[in-house]
Structure 1
């Protein structure tokens, strides 16, 4: 979503949506570490991000006046551009990306900026996911639609433990959708999504370019490499959920998240996990050079049950035992002497 569009939706969203706190755990103070800076002029408006297994990063850029400039970019560890992949047909508004456990790249062409948010005014009947299988050089398209057929703007894609795509809308609030049917390919009519529930961020007060409204708009999502955690981000903060059973949509709609502030990012729209799952990676959607940042995640230490204490061991004092035995022998001996003496007196 372009920066100019955000200010135009402030009055609409604040006036029509009750900004209710989601009840997350208390936010921790965080400090960003700059990993590298994207300076190649081809890579602008990065709105999706994922690390590459051997080092480096994947990014994609969103709405652009020149469709051929919307591509999937491969970057080295220093953020230098190594190669790119174009779309076989025109992409509308790619906003997020993910890499699943099989190594398939998913690009979420799900943005739909309305005239009120700086868009073209032509809303979408369908949205799309693009996939790039390992070893493939061509992106495949998969068209989806919302259950009521109405258009929505969305910027967050997550892939759950069963390989199902989960999409979270940006406006007017966090509607959480999941594809519960087989993923179609090259289809004209969109496959229907299922509305699972909602997630509404809290007003955190974290510094961001859009203030109050920046804390409300969901701009990206990610799932940790081990599948045990999922994250949504706004322009201000990252919300992390525990995912004990692989059901990402359930975790987002019913869980209580932990909050990691992402203060001062120019227009933070992308989030990913590091390969070890212990930190977030982010990048801003902006026209000029953009930095890939790292934020360590502060998670509570799991409680471990104390090992049962062993029963007390009796300590035997062998000297005391010997004294007791000696005393016993003495008593027996004295008894025998006394008995012999009594018999001797009777005989005398």
Structure 2
């Protein structure tokens, strides 16, 4: 789900768009908000198929398979929606797998080299979870196994899962500026809580891509994927996809020292899912929110990859040291400073706008 610091943002509505405009106008008289120069409008993705199953209205994770797609909802109150859904190439549900216990907040999927489906139960909008989890579903299996994980530095909200060359999961947190990278410190063990270690951080370049959440939507990581050959990984925001080259299976090195190629994903209603096509030549996305605008269905979109030059601004950086603590706080830049100022000058307007864009968080998250 969308979240900017302490405010959980909901589905795209007219009120949501108005609130972003209010934030921008409220800041403009007293604060000069620097940003990149406008660029030509990027091309939109081409439609692959529409998901018409009524249980799939908040798709938060997707992987492509030889037979079609696998998707999960953001955690749902209704039990029939708490499934791992297998779709054919026309987006028709052909199989579902239930969880043996209730997941908390499933946000992303990954596909292992051996065909294992990884479900990232890592969302934490309120930053209150003592543990997060990944579920592993073996090829053809009917019951995913639960593996619990714990951050070394307190709770984080996260929506992106990548797989390194050795099969180790890498979790990318959602915060803007410098997103944290976390990986298990030891081998996963069913029934036990394994500690995570912070292994780095990644900063994504600035863009001007249009999206429902304006500058906020261009800053936070909402999904990730590893290419079928393991030689590339991609992170996405609500606005863009950032593709990094991977050498020797070292995903962390790619994210902390590499320069990404950018594929704009303009104006997706609430883009949180991304995966590679099976041939690795395209990126596939689907928005979490259905009925935006009313009557529409989640649509899988295809973006053909190009050999564009890597970005040259705000490249990824290695993990911070204690001496850089002050700089890390400043890394939030475009998001935090604007939110603070807007909160001072427009608090009343924010309270009104939130009626249209927030939604009640489910119990137990």
The answer for the alignment partner of 1:96 in structure 2 is 108
C-alpha root-mean-square deviation of aligned residues, in Å? 2.6
The answer for the alignment partner of 1:248 in structure 2 is 251
Residue 275 of structure 1 aligns to a residue whose secondary structure is coil
Runs of 5+ consecutive residues of structure 1 not aligned to the other structure: 115-121, 302-348
Q: Given that residues 178 and 249 in structure 1 are in contact (C-alpha distance below 8 angstroms), is that contact kept between their aligned partners in structure 2?
A: no
Q: Number of residue pairs matched?
A: 281
Residue 8 of structure 2 aligns to a residue whose secondary structure is helix
Aligned partners of 2:78, 2:2: CA distance in 1, in Å?
15
Moved over 4 A (4+): 7-11
The 5 Å alignment of 1:29-68 reads: 29-53=42-66, 55-68=67-80
Aligned partners of 1:111, 1:93: CA distance in 2, in Å?
5
Match of 1:186 among 191, 195, 219: 191
Q: What is the deviation of 1:201?
A: 2.0
The 5 Å alignment of 1:156-235 reads: 156-172=160-176, 173-187=178-192, 190-235=193-238
The answer for the alignment partner of 1:334 in structure 2 is none
1:264 aligns with 2:272: no
Q: What is the deviation of 1:68?
A: 4.6
Q: Given that residues 30 and 260 in structure 1 are in contact (C-alpha distance below 8 angstroms), is that contact kept between their aligned partners in structure 2?
A: no
Residue 193 of structure 1 aligns to a residue whose secondary structure is strand
The answer for the alignment partner of 1:74 in structure 2 is 86
Q: Given that residues 164 and 180 in structure 1 are in contact (C-alpha distance below 8 angstroms), is that contact kept between their aligned partners in structure 2?
A: no
Q: What is the deviation of 1:125?
A: 0.1
Q: TM-score, normalised by structure 2?
A: 0.72
Residue 218 of structure 1 aligns to a residue whose secondary structure is coil
Q: Given that residues 176 and 253 in structure 1 are in contact (C-alpha distance below 8 angstroms), is that contact kept between their aligned partners in structure 2?
A: no
Runs of 5+ consecutive residues of structure 2 not aligned to the other structure: 11-15, 28-32, 292-296, 310-365
The answer for the alignment partner of 1:113 in structure 2 is 125
Q: What is the deviation of 1:245?
A: 1.1
The answer for the alignment partner of 1:291 in structure 2 is 299
Q: Which has the larger radius of gyration?
A: 1
CA separation of 1:27 and 1:101: change in aligned 2, threshold 3 A = farther
Residue 104 of structure 2 aligns to a residue whose secondary structure is coil
Residue 235 of structure 1 aligns to a residue whose secondary structure is coil
